[in-house]
Amino acid sequence: MVLGAAADKFGYTLEIDEQLIGGAAIDAGKAPLPAGTLASVIETGAVLLGAVGGPKWDSLPREDRPEVGALLPLRKQLNLYANIRPCKPHPMLIDHTPLKPEYLDGVDFIVMRELTGGIYFGAKGTDGLGAYDECRYCEAEVERIARKAFILAEQRRGKVTSVDKSNVLATSQLWRKTVNKVAEGFPDVGVEHVLIDAMTMHMLTRAQDFDVILTENMFGDILTDEASVLCGSMGVIPSASLSDGTPGLYEPIHGSAPDIAGRNTANPVAMILSAALMVRLSLGEGLMADSIEAAVEAAMTGGHVTADIGGPLGTSDVGRWIADYVLQT
């Protein structure tokens, strides 16, 4: 709806190829990542992804579940090693957080999460002693995500905060050493190192200090969900998963919500903002993305939102309001 309105406004023809993935594909008797879906994704290069999993499929073997059977191989196939998640609380949502307003004033950071390495992709299994999950990184994997983080920081406020557990983990020691090496090529960007356990506290008590937060896969998964507390709702936070060049996958940071399925109450803002990121980063249409983001800003400022963030509208009503605003401005 919103993408269609933006395309009309700027005179583009929008071609959408919808494909099944995850739980929806499983329910249709297919693999979590059907071959046709993967082929379409590779050809298209710009993917807007809905939530793939939920409790319904938790009883399946691990490799057949939506997250493991669809998300992880999709990220690996497209080499989507850089996950970007912004955190900038909207003024209308400050009262929706459990934090005092002074902890939120001026918060504006981006988490750069490595997405195709680490414990999620390491060797896994069970033996006579129990179960194991291997966490492994090579220098090249750390170097490429660190370089993206420093380039992004150059375009923002010039600071990278690298999060690791180097006092214990060998992978984190490699991570810190490599980040410092990359930092030498960016003399105008400051760099600090924070241990993951300390960062879980600092993110809520001095969030204003951060600009670009760089971290590995599992730590980034945890920290970005924690960051949603600062924003007042997971329903307003988009994300982009990028490779080199223009291919990209865009999705809200939240998962599925089967408890409210079909009720027209889910918050669509994170998905709409993810679409704006797709338009900006993969399609290269900055003005079109600006138009969508401005419409979302107007909707939130005016209270034209869903009940989870204090509004009176349903999912489709919010989408329609934003689409109309795009066309009218």
Which class for 249: exposed (0-12), middle (13-18), buried (19 or more C-beta within 10 A)? buried
Catalytic residue flag (residue 197): yes
Concerning whether 290 is annotated as a catalytic residue, the answer is: no
- Residue of 165, 290, 317, 324 marked active site: 165
Q: Is 221 a catalytic residue?
A: yes
- From the candidates 108, 225, 290, 317, which is the catalytic residue? 225
Other C-beta atoms within 10 Å of 18: how many? 8
What is d(CA 220, CA 114) in angstroms, rounded to the nearest whole number?
7
Q: Which residue has the tokens 């129990």?
A: 130
Catalytic residue among 81, 221, 250, 308: 221
b/e map 288-302, b = 16+ CB within 10 Å: bbebbbebbeebbee
Longest CA–CA span in the chain (Å) reads: 65
The DSSP result for 217-264, as a single string, is HHHHHHHHHHHHHHHT-GGG-EEEEE-SSS-EEEEESS---GGGTTSS
In which residue are the tokens 């590995």 written? 216
* Catalytic choice (17, 95, 197, 244): 197
Angle, vertex CA 265, rays to CA 264 and CA 270, nearest 5: 110
Cα Rg for the chain, rounded, in angstroms?
A: 20
Count of alpha carbons within 13 Å of 236, Cβ hemisphere only? 29
Closest by alpha carbon to 175, among 112, 228, 123?
Answer: 112
Q: CA 31 to CA 15: how far, in whole Å? A: 25
Candidate list 120, 137, 250, 325, residue with the active-site label: 120
Residue 162's DSSP bridge partners are: 193, 214
| Catalytic positions, written as ranges | 120, 165, 197, 221, 225
